[in-house]
Every structure is written in C-alpha cells, then in structure tokens.
A and B are shown apart, each in its own frame.
Chain A
Amino acid sequence: MKHIQIIKSACLIIMFISSSSYAISIAEARHLWSRTGFSQTELLINNHQDMSRVDAIKSILDMTLYTPPLKSLPEFDNAIYSALKSKNISKKEKQKIKKNNIKKDKKILQSWWYEQILSTTNPLQEKMTVFWHNHFTSDLQKVFAPYMFKQNQIFRQNALGNFEDMLYQFMHDPAIHYYLDNIKNKKQNPNENLARELLELFTLGEGDHYSEQDIKNIAKSITGYRINFKNQKLDFKKRQHDNSFVTIFASSGSYTIDGVLRLILSHPKTAEFITEKLWREFISENPDKHEVKRISEKFRESGYEIKLLISDLLHSEHFWEKQNYDSLIKSPFDLLTSTAYLLKIDKSDTNKLPSLLANAGQKLFFPPDVRGWRGSTYWLSTELIIARKKMLKKYIKKVIKLNKKTNPKYSSILSERLTSKRQFFAVGEAIPRKITKPIDKLIYLLMNDKYNFK
C-alpha cells in the first residue's frame, strides 16, 4: 500500500513539474491571454513556444508595481462642488450648477476612463480596476464626479497591490460614505447601510459567520465621519461618534473604522471570500472548496498581496483544465477591450463608448446597484445577447470610419493585422477562405458566437 502511495505521489509530482515546465501550446497561451485582460498579447502570440506556464504567468504579472495613467488626469472645478454643499447658495444657483457642470463632469470622467482603458500598457491593471470598481461599488448617479475619480484612483493604484491597503484607503475616502449614507450615520440615529454592505459585499460575504448584532455594532463604530467638501476629505467628528463599548465577532471594545477593519481582516472568511470571487473571475464558476481554502490562507498570510493571490490562481491546476477553456462569458468590457486590440485603433470616439456599453449592460461608473454587475449568464440574457452584438457592430463601424479618414490604408493595415494566429486568439478557429474583405473578416470574428467566451 505504502509503496503504491509513494509511487502515486511521485508520479503526480513529475506530472506537475512536466506540465508546468514544458512549453505551453497556442491553445494554452490563448486561454491565459483571454483570462488576464488581453495582457502581453504580442509576447504570447509570438513566443509561447519558448515559454513554460511559469514563464508565461510571470510575463503577465511581472509588470511594474503600478502603471500610472497615460492620459492626463481629468480636471474638475472643485469650488463648484463645495459651493453646491454650502448653506448660502440659492436654489436657482444650485440648478444652474447642476445643469451646466455636473452633467459635463460626468461625461469627462467617463471618457477619461475609456481612453485610459484603450490606451493603457497594463491591461491587467485596468481589468482589475474594473473588478474592484464592481466589488467596492459606488454610483456616479449619486456621487459627484471628482469623488468617483478619487475612488477610481484608489482601485487603480492598488489593483494588483495590497488588499488591506486598498480597503483602508477606500474606507477613509469620502465616496463610499456618501454612496451608502454613512455621512448620515449618527450616534443618536445610526444608519446601517455601509456597515451591512461592508460585511456582506466587501469583505466577509453573506452568511452565518456574522450576526445582525455585529452589523448594528459596526454601524455604531463607524459613526461620526463627515465629508469636508472644501478639501474633499473625510473628517472625523468626535462628538458625533458613538464610542460605546460593543462586541463585534466576539471581540469587545470601543472602535472606529480602523478597529473594525482590523477585526474584519483577522477573520479568515475575508480572504476566502475575495479568493473565491477572483476564482470566478479567472478560473471557473465552480470554485474548489479545498483549493480556495489553501490559496486564501496563503493570501492572508502574505498580508493580502493581490498579485500573489492571482499568481496562485493562475498556477493552480484547475486554471489549466481543458474543460475551463472558453467556459466564462466575456463582460461587455472584455468584448470591447479584446476588440480594440484586434482593431489596433489609433483613434477612437470615446464619447460614444459609455452609451454603447450601457446598452450592452455595463456602463462603467454606473453599476446596477450596490452589488454591482452579476456577470456570467446575466450578460447573455435575452435582452443583452442582442445588445452586445449591436454594440460591437456600431463600435467597429465607428472606428473604421474614423481611421479611414486619417489613414486611407487602414483597410490593408486591418487585413494584415488579422493573421491566422490572431484569428485563433479571437475565436479559436480560422476565418473561412471565402471571406476576403477585411471588414467582412472582422465582422465574421466579432459576430461569431464563440467570441462571447473567454
């Protein structure tokens, strides 16, 4: 018996070593490419035969710690926003500001992000920025543009960094306190909105591992935070803070935000919840409980290093199982970014992108509710299946028209670009020979039902 066990585990070790040190196939390269936000495309297309799994994953994760935005940052007139919140402003003036500035700023902010997404040299970082935006939701409908922008920068700076840092920064940033009514949470009149979502959606995930009493006590502990609309920071008003002695997850004390976050971060469920959510993003819709637990423990022990967590997920045997290829549904964001790569656009009309994505169900900065976009088959509802095809059609028409104006040779550039390898990366097959015109080739790829998967 023992011998067999030893031989078995030896075989497993050998198999593991062999599969991870051998060169990856083009199918494996495509799988890794499509799951990591279309990062390092050229490298994977051209050099996969020289790369092992470890090399390939390293090539994607080994980018600089943080890639600052390429596009110059959007500028907002902050005085207007503090005026809007001051007491000595007339209703008429308020209406005027709302009409002239607020709408415009919302558009500026959205366009800025789309330009950033389409021009970034670090697509995985942008993909993760969208991921965190969908995890720690806030809505531009309710929260002013400059505040949403600041929050967005927190997600970008920590996208592949440290979860603990991100959580602290996020909870000390005004946007979420405005979005979930915590600026109205007072000692005399607690408001539980942020306390509840902090546990249910942002850290522990819903379940029996916390109680209604925990929520009430956290709500008490995070009273007294107010937005200073002049410097756009979060102030702590000691007088409005409830410093009474409370019990949270069986620990007793008098807490503020930092104390609450410490308790949350020392709860093992937090790492598990985040690991499972990222498993669904990168591997499959069927997380393996034991593997999630193992990886989440490493994540927690590392002090919540996100890049390490993603690296562990990509190295997991589950990631490379053939049945997981093309098993996840691309979000509209995924569709758009993979298409932008195929088109290799120089010019793009980003003004139209928000409405295109909105029709396909994912208008960035405007999540459907505090839980964010649900993903998976929600993207393929009868309503959205059609809308995403429409989005792609409109988008390529616009891009082609725009680029033809400035570059008459754009058609032939496009044609050269659609090499057989790129066709394979797009849909896992070649375009039939009878299709010859570049635009038709492109439409064949993008309207192909296989293009919906990653």
Chain B
Amino acid sequence: MKRRDFIKTVAYSSMLSPGLSWSKQKSKNKYLILIELKGGNDGLNTVVPYNDKLYYSKRPGINIPTDKVIKLDRQIGLHPSLTSLADLYKQGELSIIQNVGYPKPNKSHFTSIDIWERASRNKRSNGWLYELFDKNNTARLIDSIVFSGSTGLFRGPKSNFIKIKTISSFIKEAKLLENETTISNPNNKNQQYLINSNNLIKKVANELLNKTSNTKWGSLANKTPLDRQLSQVSELINTNIDIPVLKVAIGGFDTHADQPESHYELLKELNNSVASISNYLKAKNLWNNTLIMTYSEFGRRISENGNNGTDHGEASCMFCTGGMVNGGIYGGKLDLSNTHKDNLIYKIDYRDIYATLERNWFNVENTTLPNSSLKFI
C-alpha cells in the first residue's frame, strides 16, 4: 500500500465511523468545486495524443507540436499552457479521465449540458445534485452556491442553491428585500417561486454574514473572471461553512474558428486559477477536503474544420484534482482510428463519474446511480 493510500484509508474510516462525536464537531467540511468549461472544450488539444500520427494528419493547422506538449507518458501529454496541472499530476493529485461521454450524443450546447446536469435525457427529471441531496435529506439551508454558468445541476421544485456574483455584494443587496413578500395568486408557480427565493435569500445572507464577518476578501489572485470566482470560493471554504458544492464557470470554448490563440488563453486562465486556489488551500491545510472537477457539454470533432477551428463533437476529457484524488489517467487510450463520424467514441459514461463522487466523495447512503469501477478518488 502506498503512503497516500494509507492516509486515505485512515481518513475514510474516521469519516465513516459513527461514534466519534468529537470529530464531527471539529471536522472540516468537504467541498466539491465544479468548473464548467462553457461551449464544448476541445479535449484532443487539452490532453494531446502526441504519439499518434492520425492526430497530426487530421489537425494540420491547429495541432500542438510534439515538442510543445507537456508529456505525461509515452502516449499523451498536456497542452503547453497547463503547466500547473502538470505539476499536480506529478504530485499524484490530478486525475485525467479520458473518453467521457454518453450514448447517442447530442450536439446542441443546451441539450447536451442539460443531459449532463440532469444525469438523464428525461427533460422532466431534476438536476443530478438536487436529486442526490434531496434523497439524502441533508436539511441544509442550501447545498450550493453558483458563481457563474448554468444552474441545472440544482434544478428541482425547491430552491436549494443561490446564484450570486460576490458574497459581500450579495449580503449588502439582500437588504433590499427586507419587507414581507406580497403576491396575488399563491397557486401560481412563478409567484410561489418568488416567495421562496425571497425567503431563501434573506436566510442565506444572514448565515453568510455571520460566517464571513472576519473574512478579508481579495487576498487571492484577481486577474481573470475565473480568478475572481475562485478567490470567493476559497475564502468561503476557509470559513468552513456547510455548503458542499461551489460552482464556477469560464466561457468561450466554442472554438469554431481561430482556435489556437483563444484556446491557449482559456486553458492558461484555467491553469493559473487552479494553481492559485490549490496553493491557497494547501497552505490552509484544506486541500484534502476539496475536490475540483472540470466538465463541459461535449468535446469537439477530431478533424479541424478549415477555419482553424473545430465543430461540435462527442467524447472528451475531464480533470479532477485535490488532496484525496488518486492521481493518474483513467478511461483508456484515445483511439483516433475507430471513430463515430469523426468523433471520439465514449468509453466512460459521465454518470460513472457521478456515481464515484456519490460514494467516494459525498459518502451518501442513498445513491441515485449504479456502482462504478472508476476509482479516481
């Protein structure tokens, strides 16, 4: 058994043993940070199959030259802007899951992200995380704060999340809602929605005010929109507030044209922000309580499209990092010869990743999905 695994086992067993009430009081909360890469990230230029001739022949204009790739093994390597992610990989704290997708892929941005967020194709089902927390009766005020991007993961009949820009502006502005909500038709679901949201905002603003009274905002890197969101997230984690999911987003991945420049900037922004939050959390000894995961609605076509860009595709890769991650490469090899209409064929159903998170991260009793063998955490 490796040392890291041993520590993990100990950590798990202490979390799972019931009678330790002292540890419950003192325990630090766990956080899942989700980073949505909006627009459909090009997996093949993120985790590059640099040893595959097909990759270079199908992407003559936009490929990452072999000498620029940050090589992870003999087959694949990272985009040159992902230097800090490469460091995390070397430290065994980054897992890369390749070939992630789902059957009969949909290429609409909106439908595909919807499928990801509901963990289902059924347009009537609730969001995956709404369902999970609802089944396990967590009785929290809210389960999530969304700083940017879509909120479908938490969609359900009762509001269990808030969407805000910054904590301090939220607390300040919530005062505008001090009066009782009055409506004319309580049977109308939109009017009911307003009442519930108003009540929720007031309660959450109060709770955040109490928890963050000593927080000094803005101590982290503050250069990009993602930086600004993640610095809020890290300060919040430092307060040990009981909100298990914190969601952020970065847009612009719909690279139909002139991809190399824009994709470089986007991945650099991602890399730098993740570096900065991981350094902060490590320094605060909170890295083992945090899991950061990226996701995107779909990958992109294997061949470039002639505008130095790529069109909507199918399977793609995901990153997972944190102190408890079993670093490595999951999901099998990239296969550019056996494809579906010039797209990567998925080998890992995204719901297997959710299943692992449910059991190995949230440690819930009532799971929504069948067991998965994917043990990246």
Contact = CB atoms under 8 A, between A and B. Distances in A.
B177 A327 contact: no
Contacts of B185: 323, 325-327
Contacts of B307: 181, 184, 189, 191
B198 interface: yes
Contact of A383 (B109, B163, B182): B163
B190 A449 contact: no
A189 B305 contact: yes
B29 interface: no
Interface in A205-231: 206, 212
B320 interface: no
B176 A449 contact: no
Interface string A177-206: 000010010101111110010001000001
B103 interface: no
Interface in B178-198: 179, 181-185, 187-188, 190-191, 193-194, 197-198
Given A381-B163, A382-B200, A453 B257 contact: no
Most chain B CB inside 10 Å of its own CB: which residue of A181, A385, A387:
A385
A448 interface: yes
Contacts of B197: 380-382, 385
A386 B190 contact: no
Contact of A386 (B177, B182, B257): B177
Contacts of B190: 285, 327-329, 376-377, 380, 453
Contacts of A389: 176-177
Interface string A421-450: 000000011000000000000000001111
B201 A386 contact: yes
A286 to B, nearest CB: 10
A448 B182 contact: yes
A325 B187 CA distance: 11
Interface string B124-164: 00000000000000000000000000010000000101111
B173 A386 contact: yes
Contacts of A325: 184-185
Contact of A323 (B187, B204, B256): B187
Contact of B164 (A206, A376, A383, A429): A383
A369 interface: yes
Contact of A382 (B162, B188, B191, B341): B162
Contacts, number: 115
Contacts of B191: 326-327, 453
A380 B256 CA distance: 33
Contacts of B170: 382, 386
Nearest to A370: B109
Interface string A381-396: 1110111011001000
Interface in A256-300: 285
Contacts of A200: 108
Nearest to A181: B256
Interface string B76-113: 00000000000000000000000000000001111100
A326 B198 contact: no
A212 B306 contact: no
Contacts of A428: 184
A188 to B, nearest CB: 6
Given A184-B257, A184-B307, A328-B190, A450 B177 contact: no
Contacts of A377: 190, 193
A103 B293 CA distance: 37
A371 B110 contact: yes
A385 B109 contact: no
A184 B305 CA distance: 9
A452 B194 contact: yes
B284 interface: no
A326 B161 CA distance: 26
Interface string B187-226: 1101101100110110010000000000000000000000
A191 B306 contact: yes
A377 B307 CA distance: 38
Nearest to A213: B341
22 contacts: A181-B257, A184-B306, A184-B307, A186-B306, A191-B256, A191-B306, A196-B312, A285-B190, A326-B188, A327-B185, A369-B109, A377-B193, A382-B163, A382-B197, A386-B173, A386-B174, A386-B177, A386-B201, A390-B176, A447-B176, A448-B182, A453-B191
Given A385-B197, A390-B173, A447-B176, 8 more contacts: A181-B257, A184-B257, A184-B307, A189-B305, A192-B311, A212-B341, A386-B173, A428-B184
Interface of B: 107-111, 151, 159, 161-165, 170, 173-174, 176-177, 179, 181-185, 187-188, 190-191, 193-194, 197-198, 200-201, 204, 256-257, 305-307, 309, 311-312, 341
Nearest first, the 10 closest Cβ-Cβ pairs linking A and B are A189-B306, A382-B162, A184-B307, A386-B173, A383-B163, A327-B188, A181-B256, A389-B176, A381-B163, A449-B181
